[in-house]
Structure 1
Amino acid sequence: MAESNESSLKMMDGVPVIELVNLCKSYHVGDMDVPILKSIDLSIGQGEFVAIMGPSGSGKSTLMNMIGCLDRPNCGQVIVMGKDVNTLSDPELAKLRGLEIGFVFQNFNLVPRLTTLQNVELPTYANKKEGVDARKKAKELVEMVGLLDRMNYKPSEMSGGQQQRVAIARALINDPSLILADEPTGNLDSKTGEEVMEIFSDLHKKGRTIVMITHDPDLAKYADRVVYLKDGVIDNN
């Protein structure tokens, strides 16, 4: 793995998946504006695996929300596949998020009453790329993560590792340009966590772009590049 704190990188062919330009984010608390991110510049190229690390309160989760188009910046730009988030309406932003970004969360966030297959297929109910057979694609993804024999199981009938595999398959259903993983092994034992990281590693080898928030240096070793945050800025020291 090659570690770097540089905020720019020679891109592969085509536009970067993510560009953050002079990004700032603050939240209004009482009578005060509390700055969380300050003048962040970061480019993430096609096919990169980037780990974001930093102490509690450094702004990692806020940065993930910015990259995932879950929130808008106070200043600066968030550009996803060449589209400036600030220029998009809320419906346009929701469509971009639904089609171009796949999310994997620490707590899995599966729908309890749905089966594995239904959970994987769920994102296509709101957004689906043209010409895609969602049910067929969902079955292929369930097989890819090794859960074909659990296709009709509900989350409560599966282990944490199996649930996270479902979440990874769900993140891939719309063939997104970017996979965002927020502490994806945080609720798993070390062996199961390694198995989940091997799935991410395989996806990366196949050309997927992955951004992962983690506090674990051992997980960060799977990445091409590590970005360190400290007090809302990229730490270049």
Structure 2
Amino acid sequence: METYIIIFLCIASFFAGFVDAIVGGGGLIQTPVTMILLPQLPVANVIGSLKIPAFSGTSFAAFQYLKKVTMNWKLLALMAIVAFGSAFFGSYLLTKVSNDFMKPLLLVVLIGIAIYTFAKKNFGQHQEKDFSQNKQLFLAIAISIVIGFYDGFIGPGTGSFLVLAFVTVLGFDFLHASANAKMVNLATNFGSICLFVIKGKIIWAIAIPMAFCNALGGFIGAKLAIKKGNTFIRKFFLFVVILTLIRFGYDVFF
């Protein structure tokens, strides 16, 4: 493989790790870049290989959040277990079928996310927990099943969807949502990695150097998010959602 291709992939992976550490969605950067630079690869090999840098960057970002942000470990343990299994199944399905039919649906969802986030100025600025623990656990399991499957089956934007779910469904503020989302995202990535390793879909020659760069981006991004707080994360979240919207729109209409 040409050296310049690996260099471009590593640059994309660094920025993906940086963005993902703040609001998620780093896969929306490195996934299309990898597909453009390596068009001969099957989608399953691309997604499988990119799970390694995604896991690496998320790990470093999660470690930074752990030092500064309080985690709900009981809730996270349950979500991680469910998300792992759901992502494993989603990745298995990816090796069997096409996933293009999901893009129009995601386009509609993202339009709604962008409008809601822009219009609701206090969105994700404080924690609101006005439901019982049992209801919270039920909602957490549902989130883990749906987003875990999505991450294993398609992947890009998972971090953003997790942040959104923690804010809108579970009532977290953006900082705590970003921190807790990283822990669940680790589980979904690991579930996919296990499946892709079993299936032999990971190309280690690109996965390993990208993993180092993604980790560096995740380290820097997490420290910036912790320093700047909720207002900065909200603005960055909206920016990433809009870019995601443009990306999916291009896939759907062109």
Q: Same fold (TM over 0.5)?
A: no
Structure with larger RCO (C-alpha < 8 A, sep 6+) = 2
Tell me the TM-score normalised to structure 2 length: 0.30
Tell me the TM-score normalised to structure 1 length: 0.32
**Greater helix share, structure number:** 2
The structure having more radius of gyration, on CA atoms, is 1
